[in-house]
Amino acid sequence: MTKPKLKLYLAAPRGFCAGVDRAIKIVEMAIEKWGAPVYVRHEIVHNKFVVDGLRDKGAVFVESLEDCPSDRPVIFSAHGVPKAVPAAAQARQMVFVDATCPLVSKVHIEAERHYQSGLQMVMIGHAGHPETVGTMGQLPDGEVLLVETADDVATLQVRDPERLAYITQTTLSVDDTAGIVAALKARFPTIVCPHKEDICYATTNRQAAVKAIAPQIDALLVIGAPNSSNSKRLVEVGRAAGCDYAQLVQRATDIDWRALDGVGTVGITAGASAPEVLVNEVIDAFHDRYDFETEIVETAQENVEFKVPRVLRAPA
């Protein structure tokens, strides 16, 4: 039987970013140094395949520090944690390793600096997301106000409209965030902006690559987890850039093949916490069903690398 013809556009960059790569390495090195089990507070990154793989190696994932025994090491996820968490670990004399992405830590430092200067913070982010919770938890209650949309800006109750700064979650839609920033600047003209864009390079690059392929494709598949903020943003960016059908899939088994009936071009990308092995799995699934050619659309090259904490590089 003749397979239907198809063209696949592979977005680049896609998949793992430096912060995710570092976080996974931290868990693996901790298991190697201290043996299993090693406890991880929250999923180290938002990807079931990655989490299951680390669990098989000896990682135990918990949602609270209280679920960790005091005599085993604990790792804090790449999304960051409120200040109270490492303080509680120290109080219990626990060995802990902070796997917070350095670009998230940069936002934490920025918030602290503004707070010390007497500014109240406005955070653009998603309520309940671990990164937002961790960033807001760097400062006392009431010092960080959360906005999720431009409409939220109109109802914002601030202490002093002349003494404000804003920060953002690192995994937001670049375009959506620009609209919220514009609303903030319109209402609070003196608001202090980040020294450098808070949305991380990996989020920005992956969204730019999707924008480049979206006008050329009939359908977009984003490989990523349903609780991955940056992956969900890629779906939204694809639709906004002209691709009406965009689907988030965790693995090849999640693809809705009936929805792809009759399409001639498909784009593939992956969120920053999705490994390339899952991209290859999806491509193999297309190989079983289609006669296709592949084109890589590269909009940026990445060579960022973050060191793991010194405690893991030192002998046990």
Q: Angle at CA 129, nearest 5°, toward 128 and 132? A: 95
Q: What is the pLDDT of residues 189-224, one digit of tens each?
A: 999 999 888 999 999 999 999 999 999 999 999 999
How many angstroms separate the CA atoms of 195 and 21, rounded? Answer: 26
The answer on pLDDT for 149 being more than 70 is yes
In 3D space, the residue among 16, 135, 18 whose CA is nearest the CA of residue 80 turns out to be: 135
pTM: 0.95
What does the alpha-carbon distance between residue 230 and residue 62 come to, in Å, rounded to a whole number? 22
Q: Quickly state the pLDDT bin for 242 (edges 50, 70, 90).
A: very high
Rounded Cα gap, residues 167 and 214, in angstroms: 29
Q: What is the largest CA-CA distance in the chain?
A: 71
| Residue 8 and residue 286 in contact, taking contact as beta carbons nearer than 8 Å | yes
CB contact at 8 A, 231 and 171: no
Q: 39 forms bridges with which residues in the sheet?
A: 60, 74
- What is d(CA 180, CA 153) in angstroms, rounded to the nearest whole number? 8
pLDDT in tens, 113-138: 999 999 999 999 999 999 999 999 99
Question: Which among 298, 177, 175 has a CA at the least distance from the CA of 240?
Answer: 175
Query: pLDDT above 70 covers what percent of the chain?
Result: 100
**Contact 125/172 with Cβ under 8 angstroms?**
yes
Q: Hey, what domains does the chain have and what are their CATH numbers? A: 5-16+201-298 (3.40.1010.20), 18-100 (3.40.50.11270), 103-187 (3.40.1010.20)
Contact 220, 238 (CB under 8 A): yes
Active site residue 305: no
- Per-residue pLDDT reduced to its tens digit, 32-41: 999 999 999 9
- What does the pLDDT look like over 76-109, one tens digit per residue? 999 999 999 999 999 999 999 999 999 999 999 9
Predicted confidence at residue 316, as pLDDT, reads: 61
Tell me the pLDDT tens digit for each residue of 13-68: 999 999 999 999 999 999 999 999 999 999 999 999 999 999 999 999 999 999 99
- Options 28, 43, 110, 131, the catalytic residue: 131
